[in-house]
Structure 1
């Protein structure tokens, strides 16, 4: 398994296992992601060695912790960051915010079995000011990776960015009344290894704290999410002094774009 997948999985794990510490919102129901049952959006997903298509739709109402949400699903296993984040989760309006809740199950063989829950994570706030922090969550995830017990200490934030009267997507499509949201994941990874001639296991840092994921979503009023740009990058520590060789590249970087292709909204 490539380390890039580990980083993407880490973000997915964080997004689907935690709740925001700031769910404040006021104003009317937002229409930057219309949630009528049957609404759908298809996306062209372009990245390194990836040229795929995701189809995201509003399936039905679902009740979670006595609150009613819209259940979002994809027709097939999604490739894009945004569709993957929404798939099989519930979303609801509260004031001018969009809150995400539900459960997520992902099992990549016996290496990364995941079955986690989320609780009203704020992904968008219509009346937010530029650079207003919408959510900030921190925690630790313990995960096994090819025999290495990983400790992932994370901080993830969502931040409102500017409102654009007109936005031209990199694929040439023009949208009006667009609001941007940035999601970042800062991650530190450590592990415990056994070193020859050292009697006790040693905890070492694999990766110093760094922003490994930066994703920017563009929402257009009365349409939904129209474009997402996600950058995943990392730089590992040099572990040669410990005689440790990890089955992952020393560094990596990739960019993924999700372009709205077709849509139907009420």
Structure 2
């Protein structure tokens, strides 16, 4: 099973088949160089190998592993990628890319799939389709897509309400980027961010709604970098949350077992390309 699947709402830009560049004002009043080209080659048999470093900030422990991604099949809806021979992805972006069918234009990468909530104890998935992972002609800082929704679930017989907002934002287009001592040319980058607000109801004479998780910071934020004619070369992910301390005290005081729900989590999940084999 692939535990992390993500796609975002999608927009398709004009397809331009010859690589070119121009200037575009970004949100900071600077200029964003525009690219067109193949920033994720999706031919059958293309492969990418990544080193993945997963760091628990609470313990300062880092686990190093690898991911092997391959273009596995092609259907009417796009290309499907597998990770670790249909195993578990170690990189968060590996999970995103292998979550569903991928299609691309000369300016965009589009996907379909789901994303699981990154909190132990909750078994919910966000169903998304026609997702935009980057747009090489968008401004630096431009919001590419946003989606919000509500889930409900029982936890220890208490009703839980989860409000989520999922966004994608275009980041900088770069002339070069050095990853693992290799310099790549023509880079596009984008961010994926997931924010949650989680509440429950308790009764002390009257029924009250109390926050389990405040929505002040994203529980997941991923910056990804794609090189022309190569694909994903680097991804930097930050995940974490802190439960509302007052709510934890209230729930523990009335006997709710929170042992399966850590009160806080802070992890870094970075992956870097170490080898690849692609055809155009």
Secondary structure of the residue aligned to 1:89 is coil
Alpha carbons of 1:168 and 1:70: their partners in 2 closer, same or farther (altered >3 Å)?
Answer: same
Are 1:207 and 2:219 an aligned pair?
Answer: no
Q: Which residue of 2 aligns with 1:5?
A: none
Q: Which residue of 1 aligns with 2:32?
A: none
Matched, 1:93 2:104: yes
Among candidates 8, 12, 16, match of residue 28 of structure 1: 16
- The two structures, once aligned, show a CA RMSD in angstroms of 2.9
Question: 1:55 maps to which residue?
Answer: 68
TM-score, normalised relative to structure 2: 0.76
Q: Is residue 177 of structure 1 aligned with residue 164 of structure 2?
A: no
Query: Is 1:230–2:237 an aligned residue pair?
Result: yes
Q: Are residues 144 and 263 of structure 1, via their aligned partners in 2, closer, same or farther at CA, if it must alter by over 3 Å?
A: farther
Q: Could you report, residue by residue, the CA deviation over 1:191-213 in whole angstroms, capped at 9, with x for unpaired residues?
A: 2334xxx2454321111112222
Q: Which residue of 2 aligns with 1:81?
A: 92
How many residue pairs match? The answer is 242
Structure 2 residue 77 is the aligned partner of structure 1 residue 72: no
Aligned to 1:138: 148
Matched, 1:263 2:269: no
When residues 183 and 104 of structure 1 are mapped into structure 2, their CA distance, relative to the original with a 3 A threshold, is closer
Aligned partner of residue 45 in structure 2, secondary structure: coil
SS at match of 1:85: helix
Q: 1:162 aligns with which of 146, 162, 172?
A: 172
- Given the two structures, how large is their TM-score scaled by the length of structure 1? 0.80
Cα distance, 1:42 vs structure 2:
1.4
The answer for unaligned runs of 5 or more in structure 2 is: 18-36, 56-61, 253-257
Q: Distance in 2 between matches of 1:73 and 1:124?
A: 20
Mean Cα deviation higher: 27-36 or 234-243: 234-243
Residues 184 and 113 of structure 1, relative CA distance in 2, 3 Å threshold: closer
Change (3 A) 1:228 1:155: same
Q: Does the residue aligned with 2:74 lie in a helix, a strand or coil? A: strand
Runs of 4+ off more than 4 Å: 102-106, 144-148
Residues 151 and 97 of structure 1, relative CA distance in 2, 3 Å threshold: same
Q: Distance in 2 between matches of 1:244 and 1:136?
A: 33
